[in-house]
A and B are shown apart, each in its own frame.
Chain A
Amino acid sequence: MAAVNQDNTLVVATTTAPSNSKQSQPRAKTVDSQSVLKRLQSELMALMMSGDSGISAFPEEDNIFCWKGTIIGSKDTVFEGTEYRLSLTFPNDYPFKPPKVKFETLCFHPNVDLVGNICLDILQDKWSSAYDVRTILLSIQSLLGEPNISSPLNNQAAQLWSNQDDYRKMVEKLYKSPKA
């Protein structure tokens, strides 16, 4: 059925993708990964077509379950002009379970710890299968400008937040120094 549909759509590769896993995995699992693949491919397409400014994401070279994303700090926030790389790892039961999202660039932010873990409700208990990569990245982008000071992962950042000028200087200093 879906194949009838797909011969008119762009995602021609969808049907071919699971053929590798077919031999080794039981049927139920194959159905699963096939639908996850379809979902991720559709998301990728939607993301590329959406043209949102300041966010982007693309799968890693050989694994569509691992994406690299970038977020650019919004205008009129202390993160303006800075760019952050993130990694997104999708579980096999995505989108029923959230992807694991981490900052790969050091991000001085009250809700991001020093190794890049993010404290964001929609990535944990508030996850909904209706979210997608695009909404995740947009949420993180807006989290940058509007941190939740009450439950910080980075206490220093949380304390400094009240002083936006100093905070901006700190962001710039940290953004430039550990480039390596």
Chain B
Amino acid sequence: MVSDSITNASIHAAPNNNNNNARDVGKKKRARSAKLKQCKLDVRREQWLSQGAVKNKDFKAEQNGVVEERKDRNNHRPFGNLGMRPGGGENDGSIHHHHHHHDSDLDSNSPNSLTSSVLGSNYSETNFTGSSSSSSSSSSSGGCCSGNITEDDEGGGDDGCLDDWEAVADALAANEKSKNPCLESPPEHDPIAQSGSPQETTIGSDGPIFGVENSKPQCARTIPKASGNGLAWRPDDAFRPQSLPNLAKQVSLPNSNRKHYGCGGVPWAYSGVVSAPSSCPICYEDLDFTDTSFLPCLCGFRLCLFCHKRILEEDSRCPGCRKPYEHEPVEAEASVHGGSLTFRLPRSCSLITRS
């Protein structure tokens, strides 16, 4: 069933992406990489659908919420992009001006909205064809998605394979300039930002970016957000983009959920490195709603549906405890489903208070 769904998905996704690209940029390369992503997403959707078929009622009610939420995001999204990308070098006087855009951009990049747009765009094609609001928002999200892919491609597309890991190494040292201006303000939402690990040295390196007025006291008066945040997450620069939204999400989860992950599974794996439950320990892709409510093994080791499927095809043993997967994933899904509903609530609440 699933292998069928791959081909279906790619056929299904093709016209959609091509339309967007023809309209927006019209380059095949992007369509292809978008297709790959789409393909993977659709496989997940199939799995989710087949597993959640019983739960359809609850599910649909939730989707409505999700789509609504996403419409809001899409309204902000284009501004976020326009404000941010070119703004890297010219932040000098206009930091106030950019605040709103930064914030909305962070929000739309956070795992919450990622997932919601996954659900939204997939389901609006299948389940919601009748509803005009959802179809319109799906097209707009497609547009901005391909826009992002474009930027990524052009960012390093010419360098080729050779520089990949060198780029990683370079980025460790040199990403302040390119990343920080863009990401300066968002962490105000993050608890970490408030707990704050001050690093004096970072202020100095902020200087050229923000101009002369960026000495500490003036900062506090004129652009309090930017200065505070610059201090807050600087030490973790290299990991910040990925871990920050994840941490925020994690905090909004009930404690029991985190504890569960920590105790079960593999305590030695990635504990200090990746803030655990928000990315798949196998493929390092972010876990979405479907994945985080998916608990295939009693030991508590979580992974994304994609990797789980892959393992089922091979030795079918849990990577966390090496025991064979006993339960059908459907059962496991059903057993956690109630739990997943409970922690979805606080998450959407936190979204509302944020924006």
Binding site for B on A (CB under 8 A): 1-17, 19-20, 22, 27-28, 30-31, 34-35, 37-42, 44-46, 48-50, 58-59, 62, 64, 95-96, 126, 128-132, 135
Known: A13-B167, A44-B165. A50 touches B32 (CB 8 A): no
Which residues of chain A come closer than 8 Å to B162, judged between CB atoms?
A: 62
Residues from 93 to 124 in B contacting A, C-beta threshold 8 Å: 108-109, 114, 117-118
Cα(A8)–Cα(B301), bound, Å: 27
- How far, in Å, is A82 (CB) from chain B's closest CB? 25
Given contacts A10-B179, A129-B307, 19 further A-B contacts (CB under 8 A): A1-B41, A1-B114, A2-B286, A3-B37, A4-B114, A4-B148, A8-B109, A10-B238, A10-B242, A13-B163, A13-B168, A17-B161, A19-B157, A22-B32, A31-B40, A35-B283, A42-B274, A46-B274, A130-B281
The answer to whether B283 touches A16, judged by C-beta atoms less than 8 angstroms apart, is: no
Selected from A7, A27, A45, A48, the residue in CB contact (under 8 A) with B151 is A7
Which residues of chain A come closer than 8 Å to B62, judged between CB atoms?
A: none
B29 located at the interface, meaning its Cβ lies under 8 Å from any Cβ of chain A in the complex: yes
- How far, in Å, is A80 (CB) from chain B's closest CB? 24
Which residues of chain B come closer than 8 Å to A130, judged between CB atoms?
A: 266, 269, 281-282, 301, 319-320
- How far, in Å, is A22 (CB) from chain B's closest CB? 7
- How far, in Å, is B287 (CB) from chain A's closest CB? 12
- How far, in Å, is B178 (CB) from chain A's closest CB? 9
Residues from 166 to 208 in B contacting A, C-beta threshold 8 Å: 167-169, 171-172, 175, 179, 183
B209 located at the interface, meaning its Cβ lies under 8 Å from any Cβ of chain A in the complex: no
Known: A3-B148, A13-B167, A44-B165. A34 touches B272 (CB 8 A): no
The answer to whether A20 touches B241, judged by C-beta atoms less than 8 angstroms apart, is: no
Q: Which residue of B lies closest to A14 (CB)?
A: B164
Cα(A13)–Cα(B163), bound, Å: 8
Which residues of chain A come closer than 8 Å to B241, judged between CB atoms?
A: 8-10
Q: Which residue of A lies closest to B149 (CB)?
A: A3
B212 located at the interface, meaning its Cβ lies under 8 Å from any Cβ of chain A in the complex: no
B328 located at the interface, meaning its Cβ lies under 8 Å from any Cβ of chain A in the complex: no
The answer to whether A12 touches B167, judged by C-beta atoms less than 8 angstroms apart, is: yes
Top 7 nearest A-B pairs (CB, nearest first) are: A130-B319, A8-B241, A46-B273, A42-B284, A13-B164, A13-B167, A3-B149
Which residues of chain A come closer than 8 Å to B40, judged between CB atoms?
A: 31
Which residues of chain A come closer than 8 Å to B29, judged between CB atoms?
A: 19
Which residues of chain A come closer than 8 Å to B266, judged between CB atoms?
A: 130
Known: A12-B155, A31-B36. A3 touches B145 (CB 8 A): yes
- How far, in Å, is B142 (CB) from chain A's closest CB? 11
Cα(A86)–Cα(B242), bound, Å: 30
Which residues of chain A come closer than 8 Å to B351, judged between CB atoms?
A: none
Selected from B165, B239, B269, the residue in CB contact (under 8 A) with A59 is B165
- How far, in Å, is B260 (CB) from chain A's closest CB? 17
The answer to whether B39 touches A31, judged by C-beta atoms less than 8 angstroms apart, is: yes
Known: A34-B36, A129-B307. A49 touches B109 (CB 8 A): no
B340 located at the interface, meaning its Cβ lies under 8 Å from any Cβ of chain A in the complex: no
Which residues of chain A come closer than 8 Å to B165, judged between CB atoms?
A: 13, 40-41, 44, 58-59, 64
Known: A1-B41, A4-B145, A16-B152. A44 touches B168 (CB 8 A): yes
B338 located at the interface, meaning its Cβ lies under 8 Å from any Cβ of chain A in the complex: no
Which residues of chain A come closer than 8 Å to B220, judged between CB atoms?
A: none
Q: Would you mind naming 11 contact pairs between A and B with Cβ atoms under 8 Å apart?
A: A2-B37, A3-B33, A3-B145, A8-B241, A19-B153, A31-B39, A35-B285, A49-B273, A129-B282, A130-B281, A130-B301
Known: A8-B183, A9-B241. A41 touches B164 (CB 8 A): yes
B221 located at the interface, meaning its Cβ lies under 8 Å from any Cβ of chain A in the complex: no
Which residues of chain B come closer than 8 Å to A129, judged between CB atoms?
A: 282, 307, 311, 319
Residues from 12 to 34 in B contacting A, C-beta threshold 8 Å: 29, 32-34
Cα(A135)–Cα(B167), bound, Å: 24
Which residues of chain B come closer than 8 Å to A12, judged between CB atoms?
A: 152, 155-156, 167, 171
Q: Which residue of B lies closest to A20 (CB)?
A: B161
Which residues of chain B come closer than 8 Å to A7, judged between CB atoms?
A: 109, 148, 151-152, 155
Cα(A8)–Cα(B159), bound, Å: 19
B57 located at the interface, meaning its Cβ lies under 8 Å from any Cβ of chain A in the complex: no
Which residues of chain B come closer than 8 Å to A19, judged between CB atoms?
A: 29, 153, 157, 160
Which residues of chain A come closer than 8 Å to B36, judged between CB atoms?
A: 27, 30-31, 34
Which residues of chain A come closer than 8 Å to B252, judged between CB atoms?
A: none
Cα(A34)–Cα(B33), bound, Å: 10
The answer to whether B153 touches A49, judged by C-beta atoms less than 8 angstroms apart, is: no
Which residues of chain B come closer than 8 Å to A126, judged between CB atoms?
A: 322
Which residues of chain B come closer than 8 Å to A58, judged between CB atoms?
A: 165
Which residues of chain A come closer than 8 Å to B153, judged between CB atoms?
A: 15-16, 19
